[in-house]
Amino acid sequence: MRNVWRFFNSARLTVILTMLIAVDVLIGSLLISFFPETLGDIDLEVFFYWLFGKGLDNLGLSWWIFLLLFLMGLLALNTVACTIESSAALFRTRQRTTASRRRRLLSQAVHLGFVIGLVGHLISSASGFRAPDNRLFEGASLPFPQDPEWSIRLNEMDVVFSDRGRMEKMDAYLSLIKGNEVIRDKVVRLNEPLLHRGNAVYLVHHGKAPRGVRLEASGSDVSETLVLEFRDEDGTNFQGYRIVPARFVPDFAMDNAGKVYSASDTFSNPALKLEIYKGETPVKTGWVFLNFPDWMSLSLDGYELVFSGLDYASYAVLTVNKDPGAVIVLSGALIFMIALIGMLFSKGEAAELVNSGKAVSSKA
């Protein structure tokens, strides 16, 4: 038992572990760069879920992560052992000056902050959630994962490009909503997330995409543009009828059995299947095509419904994370930084810095 304690209570072990961790992380960074298809999504879900799932399935590329965890565990034990030994020695020795004792206490506080930070990262790696790639159109809402009572709504995307095509600003104007009540508004930028009850909403990307279609409804006395959203189950009303988008196909094709499918993900031959109701009674169903508006329209009591275009809207790509260990990590970082600053400006250290400065000045 004493040999085990001596092994962990060793400054030499600290140096060796630090060097091994540096080499291991260097190898890992190179592997991530060369194999992004395997390791590139490591931070898109809870770390341990990824590690013991996809990580184990690709052990030839993820071995360095398991080694890193092992080395970090040894370093944590080494830090705890050294802290306990130094603290015990500090209180056993009464001859130390107050300044010397203060510096030793501050050095142990640095160790404590480091260990607290590791514990926080361990908690974050084993719990919480990651919800990446949430595409949210302007005016649409997204419920928080695991907390559907709360939601976020994208009110507006404000993106500005320079004359050379460089993006100068990307702001997402979000509203935090509980039920039907707006609790607060927040402008979210790349490094300025929306924080709420342990959740963090990050803005990742933006763009424009079709959110729906435009129909030209015309007759002898009426000409009107109708906008239907793809997922609008209620549809829109027109002349006493309710027009519902039943199915949208971006690149319409049909197999030999007459089954409709999309030949690609591009909008090469957009087609929309419409269901028309009178009250709750279905009265007509049919397809309309963007590329063939003249001879592939839909007639309805003297009116023609023509697929005239796609309705584009701005969207934001959001990542919603919940990190239970974030507060613990932050606490450890604060303890670490405050203790480090305290050591730097304690009397003994300050005098040493001043003396060093005077020596340099006299030599100059």
pLDDT tens digit sequence for 304-343 = 889 999 999 899 999 988 888 888 988 999 999 998 888 8
Residues 321/131, Cβ–Cβ less than 8 Å: yes
Residue 20 corresponds to which tokens in the numbers above?
């091994």
How far is C-alpha 20 from the chain's CA centre?
30
Q: Are residues 46 and 82 in the same domain?
A: yes
Looking at 152-156, 168-172, 186-190, 194-198, which range is the least confident one?
194-198
Q: Which of 16 and 83 is assigned the larger pLDDT?
A: 16
What residues does 275 pair with on adjacent strands?
244, 285
Q: Are residues 8 and 107 in the same domain?
A: yes
pLDDT at 45 over 90: no
With the CA atoms of 250, 253, 255 and 256 taken in that order, what torsion angle do they form, in degrees rounded to the nearest 10?
Answer: 160
Which residues are CB-neighbours of 305 under 8 A, at least 6 positions away? 215, 216, 217, 226, 243, 274, 288, 297, 298, 299
Indicate the number of domains in the chain: 3
At residue 250, the pLDDT reads 93
Q: Are residues 24 and 99 in the same domain?
A: yes
Q: Are residues 66 and 108 in the same domain?
A: yes
Q: Are residues 150 and 241 in the same domain?
A: no
pLDDT at 221 over 60: yes
At residue 275, the pLDDT reads 92
Residue 101 corresponds to which tokens in the numbers above?
């004792």
Q: Which domain holds residue 289?
A: 211-312
At residue 93, the pLDDT reads 64
pLDDT at 354 over 60: no
Q: Are residues 223 and 164 in the same domain?
A: no
Q: Are residues 274 and 330 in the same domain?
A: no
pLDDT at 33 over 60: yes
Q: Are residues 123 and 6 in the same domain?
A: yes
Q: Are residues 234 and 336 in the same domain?
A: no
How far is C-alpha 315 from the chain's CA centre?
16
306 φ/ψ angles, rounded to the nearest 5 degrees: -115, 130
Q: Are residues 217 and 197 in the same domain?
A: no
Q: Are residues 6 and 90 in the same domain?
A: yes
With the CA atoms of 75, 78, 83 and 86 taken in that order, what torsion angle do they form, in degrees rounded to the nearest 10?
Answer: -140
In tens, the pLDDT along 57-109 reads 999 999 999 999 999 999 999 999 888 888 777 666 655 566 677 777 888 88
pLDDT at 157 over 90: yes
Looking at 86-90, 124-128, 251-255, 272-276, which range is the least confident one?
86-90
Q: Are residues 273 and 352 in the same domain?
A: no
